[in-house]
Amino acid sequence: MSLRKRILSAIILLFWFAMLGMLVERTYLRPTSVVALDAATSEGVRPTDEWFGIYQKGRKIGFAHTQIRPEEETYRLTEESELDILALGSVQHVKTVITSFTTKNFLLKYFDFLMQSGATTMTVKGAVLGRKIVLDITTGGSKRTETVVLKDPPYLSPNIKPAVLLAGLEAGKRYRFPVFNPATMGMEEADISVESKETIKIGGGQQTVYKLREAFQGMETTSWINQDGETLKEESALGYVLLKENMSQARNIDQRGPVVDVIEMTMIPSDPVKDSVNVRFLRARLKGVALESFQLDKDRQQQSGEVVQISAESPSSSYRLPCDRSDLRGYLRATALIQSDDRKIIDRTDKILAGEKDAVQAAKKINSWVYNSVVKKPVVSIPSAIEVLSHLEGDCNEHTALFTALARAAGIPARPVAGIVYMDNGFYYHAWPEIWLGTWIAVDPTLNQFPADATHIRFATGELDSQAGIAKLIGKLRIEILEYR
């Protein structure tokens, strides 16, 4: 594999919205203690302790372990998973642990979340206080507190199925729950439907099982649960299967590692685009998915039905830093993962700029510094700017988070976006920043482009909670190139 392909392929958002999304969904929308009638008692839901093997194309690549324990007026739900992911020939080992405490009807009270991948570790602790959830986030050696306003009392995804159990189970029923996602730190709806009640053969006997379909942040999972509330099997997109096993079986991982490279598997084939890095105009037809919920028709992009056209822009003007437009203040604020007010980010920005006050020149300096300083490698992590600054490695998500934080610290309004970009023989999922220079300009610190070429097709604007809908595209989106120059 060429160095160019290795660098470019490593940038895709697949890690977040397919693998991490599904893996951490495995931690969130897990198969245990769910919705079989005999699993409920007059006291509530029975305690559980279950283990599962995670398989890809028949090869064991990880395990999941889940527990439910009643504790006085609460339930304690603990889940952990470990999984090996193959990306461009490199195996990434990811561990997630989440412990939540809930009311007797499984509404969230507080939780602890941990994710470890390579050298990176992130912890998030949260407590629901009325219509707010207060978060303590530790990443890159720094800790910060954030508050998220809630429209509805929240669930965590692990708590949904026990809540359905209490509500009762019947083929054809459908449930919706407002869910707080500790990884994206945003709210989403989870949809659970009871597809059918079936009788299947297991060993020498038969069991009655319920077939459930779960949809969360654009991803679907199908599971089969018996009358005692035990999940026997679960299937996720991209060929992942979970099977109920005992502890020793579940932890016995195949030492050969994963068999399928998840990045290559999600490439979107298209007609060739020659010299794509110099393409200034592109017109393409997007097929196979509903486009209404995506941000395809704004700024440098124009949409008409299935057809979108992109024109690579140039800065229309510059200004002296910091930007003083009141309507753009939201794009200068620090957030949980874009820590532009952190002293390490501020000091690094000052060193990069070396007194530069022209917005265009400052943005070019930041773009070049991030490109040259961050090692290009696949990383399965929550993209935190301060974490990236600490380790200086990652894919497009890490480049984008760090650039956005540095730009905001410099006084340049900046925002992350997500979509797809052309490379060699097709399109790959990608993230890049946009900055305000008289208009919103797409730049790409992963590829060292200023501005970004017109094969960058934006689908979503904002941080992870806003980008989660990208998952709906995976395995469905098709592209027809109509014109480029």
pLDDT of 429 higher than 70:
yes
Q: Same structural domain for residues 274 and 240?
A: no
Report if residue 2 sits inside a domain. no
Q: Encoding tokens for residue 239?
A: 């060929």
Alpha-carbon torsion angle 209, 50, 185, 380, nearest 10: -110
- pLDDT over 70 for what percent of the chain? 88
Does 401 map to a domain? yes
State yes or no: pLDDT of 34 exceeds 60: no
Q: Which domain holds residue 362?
A: 267-484
Burial of 57 (0-12, 13-18, 19+ CB in 10 A): exposed
Q: Which of 203, 219, 251 is the last residue of a domain?
A: 251
Rounded to two decimals, the pTM is: 0.85
At position 32, the amino acid (one-letter code) is T
Torsion (CA) 149, 142, 122, 472 in degrees, nearest 10: 50
pLDDT of residue 480 exceeding 90, the answer is yes
Domain end position, chosen among 195, 216, 251: 251
Q: Residue 165's pLDDT is what?
A: 67
Last residue of a domain, one of 181, 216, 251: 251
The mean-pLDDT minimum among 38-52, 208-222, 426-440 falls in 38-52
What would the mean pLDDT of 101-128 be, rounded to a whole number? 90
In the predicted structure, residue 161 carries a pLDDT above the cut 90: no
Confidence of residue 342 (pLDDT cuts 50, 70, 90): very high
Q: Let me know whether 218 and 289 are in one domain.
A: no
- Element at 153 (helix H, strand E): none
User: In CATH, what number is assigned to the domain containing residue 479?
Assistant: 3.10.620.30
Q: Span 131-151, mean pLDDT?
A: 92
In whole angstroms, what is the distance from residue 443 CA to residue 429 CA?
16
Distance of CA 227 to the CA centre of its chain: 33
Alpha helices in 75-234 (DSSP H): 160-167
pLDDT, residue 2, reads 36
Instruction: Answer whether residue 169 shows pLDDT above 80.
Output: no
Residue with tokens 């009392």: 153
| 48 and 128 belong to one structural domain | yes
Tell me how far apart the alpha carbons of residues 41 and 39 are, in angstroms, rounded to a whole number: 7
CA distance 254 to 163: 35
Q: How many domains does the chain have?
A: 2
